[in-house]
Amino acid sequence: MSASGTVSSTAALEVSGIEKRFGAVEVLRGVSMQVAPGEVLGVVGDNGAGKSTLMKVISGVHRADAGNIRLAGHDVAFRTPRDARDAGIETIYQDLALADHLDVGANIFLGREPIRRFAGLIPMLDERKIHGEVAALLGRIESHIPDPSARALDLSGGQRQAVAIARALYWKAKIVIMDEPTAALAVMETENVLKMARQLAAEGIGVLFIGHNLVEILKICDRVMVMYRGRKVFDVRCADTSQTELIRYMTGYADAETNKTEGEYQ
């Protein structure tokens, strides 16, 4: 990754010229971005900037009207979120779409449960494998879930985040989208989630970290991208910027100032 914030040609995810309209409203206007394996990219912007829509295009919820997505060097086109997940894109939403009445293991393996055959013939859920894999996963991420048999409904917000992160690790995600992952969490749980985001990156996974808390963004991310009114307006290494500069781009002030300066020289 260069000092200008660009990523090498070995990008885990590359998005080029993405456009999205809802009726007459142009929500995304030619957005391009990249994230490298093992990189945490912060995506910030005020409400209505287009962050959520961009993530939903990447994760298969919406189809772009124009533009291309490449995953690990290959062109992809997702019809559904399941397509994106099968390709290696896991999304950890703010509202944490877990099955509340299922336990930790069932949520990690949901829809992809391991099967063994009794007497070589009758298919049965391989609960022993699930329990073993879950215990190893929770140890790997140093989770604070004391009982893997607990229902998701009975877990705290930070513990639910840990389940979603363990799922992404187990299924060898190439990209993990974390949408406001620390919203409404206590301080200690926030620290644990931030640590797990870095742990995903240490496993070679590209992480898209969407948030409003600039202190967290600058602390946890390698690079930050600012969106404003459906466009990417700034992309820089976190070490080379500040909260003040990011706010100027998030509010459109820096963008307007640049356009004014360019106009003076035309």
265 pLDDT exceeds 50? no
Burial class from Cβ neighbours inside 10 Å (0-12, 13-18, 19+) for residue 11 reads: buried
The token pair that represents 228 in the structure block: 């404003």
17 and 30 Cβ atoms separated by less than 8 Å: yes
Mean pLDDT of the chain: 85
2 pLDDT exceeds 50? no
Query: What average pLDDT does this structure show over 89-102?
Result: 78
pLDDT for the residue 134 = 82
pLDDT for 243-260, tens place per residue? 999 999 999 987 666 555
pLDDT for the residue 104 = 87
Q: Which domains does the chain have, with CATH numbers?
A: 13-264 (3.40.50.300)
pLDDT for the residue 6 = 47
Task: In the chain, count H helices and then E strands.
Answer: 9, 12
Q: How much is the pTM?
A: 0.83
88 pLDDT exceeds 60? yes
Q: Is pLDDT larger for residue 146 or for residue 118?
A: 146
198 pLDDT exceeds 50? yes
Q: Is pLDDT larger for residue 181 or for residue 221?
A: 221
Q: Is pLDDT larger for residue 90 or for residue 98?
A: 90
pLDDT for the residue 149 = 83
| Cα separation, 249 vs 207, whole angstroms | 22
Query: What average pLDDT does this structure show over 34-51?
Result: 96
Which letter, b or e, does each residue of 35-59 get, where b requires 16 or more Cβ atoms within 10 Å of its Cβ?
A: bbbbbbbbbbbeeebbbbbbbbbbb
pLDDT for the residue 95 = 56
Q: Measured in Å, how far apart are the chain's first and last C-alpha atoms?
A: 33
**The tokens 């990523």 sit on which residue?**
7
Query: What average pLDDT does this structure show over 69-82?
Result: 93
Grouping H, G, I as helix, E, B as strand and the rest as coil, residue 194 is helix
State residue 114 phi and psi, 5-degree precision: -70, 140
Question: Which residues are bridge partners to 15 per DSSP?
Answer: 33, 69
Q: Is pLDDT larger for residue 236 or for residue 139?
A: 236
Band of the pLDDT at 7, cuts 50, 70, 90? very low
